[in-house]
Amino acid sequence: MKTQGGSSDAKRRAGESAANLVVDGMVVGLGTGSTAAHAIDALGEAVDAGLDVRGIATSYQSRRRALEAGIPLTTLDAVDRVDVAIDGADQVADRHLLKGGGAAHAREKVVDGVADRFVVVVDSSKTVETLSRPVPLAVLPDAEPVVERAVEDVGGDPELRTATAKDGPVVTDDGNLVLDCSFGPIEDPAGLASTLSSLPGVVEHGLFVGMVDEIHVGTDGDVTVERFD
């Protein structure tokens, strides 16, 4: 599944705005995707200028980006806490997100969920009244047919995500397959999240319900920040 695209300028504004929250000594969760990449680049520049931080990557892509940017990396087992996580989203409705357009949502949910402050960076094309994009499920490969049937039983329309640069399915960084499951407008994100979590074979779904502390929304000329505390 492709992520939706706002302008790169708007994404950069959001990413840079969130990176400004980071201060000396912090452990920072580094999200995945084209918007979080701008935050990683901005943090890299701050590190260059003397900022002392350590990053925790949420994917192969964010690890590579952080290494290129010169951000020292650590892992969850080496730290007591994650001060802030900065991550993108495919859709935002109030405090609820759909993530996983880059198939990284399982690791992202762990890092974003454990962070003291979870900051989302998006361009304004991502904000909606009601979440409606397909919900990505990371699925154990052997369980894929079972999960497909279970998703249909709960009213969804699952589609195996396929790769563009290889024959066959997308395989996540952790070796799982991805089912993009359409449910139409999602009026009850918490209810659907709980249903999807209960399906055997589902490693993680892309609904992030009520986890967000702060959202930075970039436009071509500005950035707005919404805080939930």
Ligand X SMILES: O=C[C@H](O)[C@H](O)[C@H](O)COP(=O)(O)O
State the residues that interact with ligand X by CB under 6 A: 3, 31-36, 87-90, 99-105, 108
From 108, 144, 148, 214, active-site residue: 108
Query: Token pair 């087992």 is at which residue?
Result: 77
> In terms of Cα–Cα distance, which of 41, 101, 32, 27 is closest to 60?
32
* Cβ atoms < 10 Å from Cβ of 184: 11
Question: What is d(CA 195, CA 205) in angstroms, rounded to the nearest whole number?
Answer: 10
The annotation status of 34 as a binding-site residue, yes or no, is: yes
- By beta-carbon proximity to ligand X, the closer residue of 7 and 149 is 7
> In terms of Cα–Cα distance, which of 200, 77, 217 is closest to 144?
200
* Cβ atoms < 10 Å from Cβ of 85: 28
- Least separation, in Å, of the C-beta of 88 and ligand X? 3
The annotation status of 80 as a binding-site residue, yes or no, is: no
Query: Token pair 């799982």 is at which residue?
Result: 176
- Least separation, in Å, of the C-beta of 58 and ligand X? 8
* Cβ atoms < 10 Å from Cβ of 179: 25
- By beta-carbon proximity to ligand X, the closer residue of 17 and 35 is 35
- By beta-carbon proximity to ligand X, the closer residue of 44 and 102 is 102
**∠ CA 25-29-30 to the nearest 5 degrees?**
115
- By beta-carbon proximity to ligand X, the closer residue of 52 and 128 is 128
Q: 37 and 123 in contact (C-beta within 8 Å)?
A: no
Query: What residue is closest to ligand X based on CB?
Result: 33
- Least separation, in Å, of the C-beta of 35 and ligand X? 3
The question of whether 108 is a catalytic residue gets the answer yes
- Least separation, in Å, of the C-beta of 190 and ligand X? 19
Q: Which residues are annotated as a binding site?
A: 32-35, 87-90, 99-102, 126
Residues of each annotated binding site for substrate:
32-35, 87-90, 99-102, 126
What residues are annotated to the active site? 108
